Structure 1
Amino acid sequence: MPLILKATPSRSGCSRSRRRRTTRTAPGPGPERSAGSPWRDEVDSCLVTSITDPATADFVFCWPLYRRGTDVYVQNAAVFLGELADAFRPTEPWLSVEPRGTVDEDGNEISEWRTTIDEVRAFLSAHP
């Protein structure tokens, strides 16, 4: 099933921030993919879907994006800010996302969907 990301009008740079987070997962082909660059075939990022004031919020809802080769796995997650080892950074929310898991601590399968890097790039091209 393809991932559909909806571009919506945003406040104070949210659109730029969303693009930066998505681009982190889906860089274009070219010299930026050279050895030693940050653009690898395994990259974790996220899109924040809901947050109040980060200074007073207890949690953040987000969609972690886990790129594995040409596949991008998307999950729904709540990040509990009081449980983080380091302060939440709104400009780098992927630093607070757990590594990809497919089974939770109770042995239940974690719901996720798969899309492709080409579909993410198509979204970025359609919503500059």
Structure 2
Amino acid sequence: MNKKGFTYIDTVISLCVAAIIISMFILAYRELSNYSERAEVKNVVQIIKKARLSAIMQMVDVEVVLDGDEILVSNINDMKKVYKLEHLKFESSESFQFTSEGGTKSFKGSYNMILLSNKSKKKYNVIIAAVGGQVRYEEV
């Protein structure tokens, strides 16, 4: 008997193996996008902490404006730095000022802001302590 092609069983097994590999890739991609969102939230917290520390170390007031998918950090010496977010955006515009003594002033009276995910529609709440200026986040 001369075989010159694939049997039905060979084809079914090949398709099953391909389906398993594709499903593993899809699950890994979802985890990777969730990881990148959490990493970006941690990066936002670090930017805010760095602005507070900069205000204390340089003994100048530093203003942080959170608008859309941008973070603008500026001080009295007209030094401005813009950070662009890739996976997240702010729900509303917020503005804070860190004083040289380590205090925090909010222009809207609120010390938290909501970050929205562009893909997974998750929400992250970033909270700044009014007295000490400590920054933390939690997933909503």
Q: TM-score range by the shorter chain?
A: 0.3 to 0.5
After TM superposition, the score normalised by the length of structure 1 is: 0.33
Higher helix share: 2
| Greater relative CO (CA pairs within 8 A, separation 6+) | 1
Higher strand share: 2
